[in-house]
Structure 1
């Protein structure tokens, strides 16, 4: 089976479909009789979808980050990247071509139809079908969500995008509007939610599934999209139109965050996807901002390696995924020097053997430098790990630690070894969205706890009693019920005791609520913390747009983009702000 998976990754299986959209070469196409004979062929089809999906890594990051406020083009960027940055994209801009997204969608449609046939012909068992069909359907839904966030036939998004669920076989089919509907974003969300709710399973692949193995030093269990996280995101977006969806979103997220509550050792239960981390290295946790000489308050002793500290989550999977990598990461796709597609991020970000096209915005840099740690150090160390100054230029580093040494900046192996990762879902991103849902569902104190120092600290009174029975826990209904007790009178060791919040794991001073509008303030805090923790991981534009839609306040988005463009001395800052204030948020949809 390992050989089959390696072969599928090396020569991505392309199934027959629209030739222009799929760019099929005849010699690469397998007949259906060859392609769908048994479960191993079904596995190859799934991996073929993921291979095609990986071509979206570059547009995903650029559309969600360069259009937002944390990323800027360098002097090397062409006019098309400049257009993304200042919101003047024209139809001929190659970065806004929806074709690669629909290549994935048409592959998914084809595979799903053939999985239905395999089940009917008893070539797949029910469980085999359920897992693989649900996986491919979820990838399709993820791609559609991205299309809905970014594209429309009209500037205000009232027409939307083509929603294609049937396999199309000719270019005429694709260009014939009668074969599908154009759905505006709200209607698209409804269709995607119905699809996801009807999946035959929402669980992750079981460990005995033939797709779960090791390939090229990677465990494949991190390869596959998490269905509940995506459904949670769909509910979170839909809550702008239906507030009951906030609790549905939180329920999906909580099922993931609690997945290991009753599995494995106590170490696994209290650490897996729990937003853990404390600044004192004696705790044994290495996913927080930490100092070697923490108690001596030595600013020069910051942990900065592939195996220790907050930075290590972006490098500790370099040889193989380890335990603490698993504690943070939910969905990661690897780029290998041996397989297609090639890693796009080295060329995009690196000024050593790369084109160095984008960099941190001045707004992002100022955000990190304006924070204060509990030991009074005047910066957020996450910024020091997220970007570096190399040869006098600010370089985004999250995608480069596999490629170059994080301290010497020398390529780790050689200029041709261009492995790396596409970071998609991790514990922090799920916690941010869970906190967003909880806050809007009427529980801003819980959102505040997630932003700051966790359940145990937030739900402990200023003068705590000796008996911890009735503190350090939320006493809220599901999915907001958390027990973080850790005490000895009587002894409690609750699973959530080490959940430390965003600012706790970064060793930053807690934020405070001013006045009475705690819901808006907590939402702002969560959004700001997302910028500090999750920069360049592909969710910034989505987060800003979702809140602007929810509040019916385009200035929430427009002012942040304006601040970036102004600080970067971009000539079109005023025009961009005016455009976004008019709710002209969408890129033009045009078949290339």
Structure 2
């Protein structure tokens, strides 16, 4: 067959491999459609195939965000939205709606299957060394598995196709590929991904771990251990999920003991606003002095080659005006230079406004979560999701930095997702206090020391891996002296300057889990994980009201007729959570 290699970030496809191969990788046909004989000659061609897969994957960015956020409770339609988006928003998607077709996902998957097949042939023919093969095979295998997880989340029962097909329409042939229920799909994905031998990031010095036009490519590629954690979390294998998450949380715990050692993926302080990402004020307790030029907001604007970005973000892909494809987020979010199709829901705004900040300077604390003000803002009287727009719209002027330069990033996963999902798994594994600490005041705050001797406190070293943390910090006067690996861990709500979440002691497991999912929305809202978070808990608890009530509240507050809101709630209460699988 012929395979379509889509140039992802345009010339970056060839720039990456070209750093190592010079003219080799540029010796290709000018067409987008390449014959197999031209594509699989050496490791540089293999690299181009990997980048081609990611180029196709990037084309799913708009669909990924809309499916995962508009179907949930924090994103709503504007008056500019068409009927297709309105159906998605109200859970009334019809067979003719383009969001009902899974075909765009399968287009990437079938390309993955073809690449995996040819990588194995290349290895058999000694065109790839074993390490080269294992690294590239694993990357493509895991991005395919990530896409299958997305399909399961949104469509429920789906065909699980691992063959290299000559005709993509065979996907819809039930006699060849019967549809698997979501739970069975999870079994298949776990079995497959656990069996892949290489699960690390591309090593430094390899062709795919370089810097292109100021972008370190290491963050572009899927983190395999994260996906393994997610698959086990969905399946209810909580210790396995936590174990994989913990490995990622310890990414920085190597080499020189410095700020990165103590804070990378640990949610640790660093006394640097471009790295800490706190909610802070230049005058404590004065809401008008919220810091916006650094700290929490800046993580969405920072260049990908900065230390603050490196320590916060696990997986992100840039949209740069110099390259294709075009940034879709200006189109869907921006009222300036875009179509302004979606906006923060009133339900989301109320969530942030119903929080309480920590007391300061004798005041009871500011009565809202300031992360809301930095996640969205009013521009010309219109509520605008800002997380994806800070590289396009100047935060001070609300005007484009440069009208035609519509840069952004596709935010896929950061350290707060990691901590919240680890905490979700830990909570279900019976480690309630540890889970509570991670999303409140940190490990040390959950296990405080009553004296200056912290030897037996600020840690969970009595527990087994992956729940054994050491956050001991003796301060400047404590004896013995401790600066343990997790001593800087601050907790998500403490970083956001919020009071601790109060737990209902009568049912701490459920109370903590509810708090965790709420915190996911407050911290990571609009970043493409809200619907999966709600669905996972509703399924786990066998409680459709967990998701139905939130969608109902969003729709009622949006001003839609109560009849539409009632219909959406009734549908979700029937556990009718999935899009129609319509092959278009």
Does TM-score exceed 0.5, indicating one fold?
yes
Q: How many residues align?
A: 556
2:573 is the counterpart of 1:581: yes
- The whole-number CA distance in structure 1 between the counterparts of 2:308 and 2:295 is 11
Matched, 1:33 2:44: no
| Structure 1 range deviating more: 332-341 or 393-402 | 332-341
Gaps of 5+ in 1: 14-24, 153-159, 240-244
Are 1:133 and 2:120 counterparts?
Answer: no
5+ residue gaps, structure 2:
1-6, 18-28, 360-364
Matched, 1:567 2:564: no
Distance 2:256 2:57 in 1: 32
C-alpha separation in 2, matches of 1:533 and 1:457:
20
Q: For residue 421 of structure 1, give the secondary structure of its aligned residue in structure 2.
A: strand
Matches within 5 A, 1:189-338: 189-239=186-236, 245-277=237-269, 285-294=275-284, 297-305=285-293, 308-317=294-303, 320-338=304-322
3-state SS of the aligned residue for 1:513? coil
**Could you say which residue in structure 2 is the equivalent of 1:67?**
71
**Native 8 Å contact 1:9 1:340 kept in 2:** no
Q: List per-residue Cα deviations over 1:55-92 (Å, max 9, x = no partner).
A: 11111111110000000000111111110111000011
**Residues 4 and 40 of structure 1 are in contact (CA less than 8 Å); yes or no, is this contact kept in structure 2?**
no
The superposition leaves residues 428-486 of structure 1 with CA deviations (integer Å, 9 ceiling, x where unpaired) of 0011110000000011111110121000111015xx12211111112321101111111
Shift of 1:170: 2.3
Q: Note if 1:468 corresponds to 2:454.
A: yes
How well do the aligned residues superpose, as a CA RMSD in angstroms? 2.0
Matched position secondary structure for 1:332: strand
Aligned residues of 2:282 and 2:290 also touching (Cα < 8 A): yes
Q: Which moved more, 1:330-339 or 1:530-539?
A: 330-339
Out of 462, 468, 472, the position equivalent to 1:485 is 472
Helix, strand or coil for the counterpart of 2:159?
A: strand
The question of 1:47 aligning with 2:34 is answered no
Please give the alpha-carbon distance, in whole angstroms, between the structure 1 residues aligned to 2:111 and 2:86.
32
Residues 71-470 of structure 1: pairs in structure 2 closer than 5 A: 71-152=75-156, 160-171=157-168, 173-239=170-236, 245-277=237-269, 285-294=275-284, 297-305=285-293, 308-317=294-303, 320-375=304-359, 376-413=365-402, 415-461=403-449, 464-470=450-456
Q: 1:387 to 1:439 in 2, by over 3 A?
A: same
8 Å Cα contact 2:8-2:324 kept in structure 1: no
Q: 1:275 deviation in Å? A: 1.6
Do the aligned residues in 2 keep the contact of 1:164 with 1:181 (CA within 8 Å)? no
Check the 8 A contact 1:8/1:44 in 2, yes or no: no
Q: CA deviation at 1:130?
A: 0.4
Q: Name the CA shift for 1:513/1:204 in 2 (closer, same or farther; >3 Å).
A: same
Whether the 8 Å contact between 1:10 and 1:338 is mirrored in structure 2 is no
Contact 2:70 2:76 in 1 (8 A): yes
Q: Distance in 2 between matches of 1:26 and 1:39?
A: 20
Contact 2:448 2:457 survives alignment (8 Å)? yes
Using a 3 Å threshold, how does the CA distance of structure 1 residues 500 and 12 change in structure 2: closer, same or farther? closer
For residues 189-230 of structure 1, the C-alpha deviation after alignment (integer angstroms, 9 at most, x for no partner) is 001001100112111110021111111221101110000000
Contact kept, 8 Å, 1:438 with 1:447, in 2: the verdict is yes
SS at match of 1:424: strand
Distance 1:101 1:283, change over 3 A: closer
TM-aligned CA distance change 1:212 to 1:322, over 3 Å: same
Deviates more, 1:229-238 or 1:164-173: 164-173
User: How many angstroms apart in 2 are the aligned matches of 1:183 and 1:133?
Assistant: 24
Q: Contact 1:5 / 1:215 at 8 angstroms: preserved in 2?
A: no
Deviations 1:538-560 (A, max 9, x none): 11000000001100111111011
Q: State the Cα deviation string for residues 230-272 of structure 1 (Å, max 9, x = none).
A: 0100000001xxxxx1000000000000122123332111010
1:21 paired residue number: none
Deviation at 1:339, TM superposition (A): 1.9
1:558–1:580 contact (8 Å) kept in structure 2: yes
Normalised TM-score (structure 2)? 0.92
SS in 1 for 2:287: coil
**Structure 1 residue 372: deviation in Å?**
1.1
Deviation at 1:8, TM superposition (A): 5.7
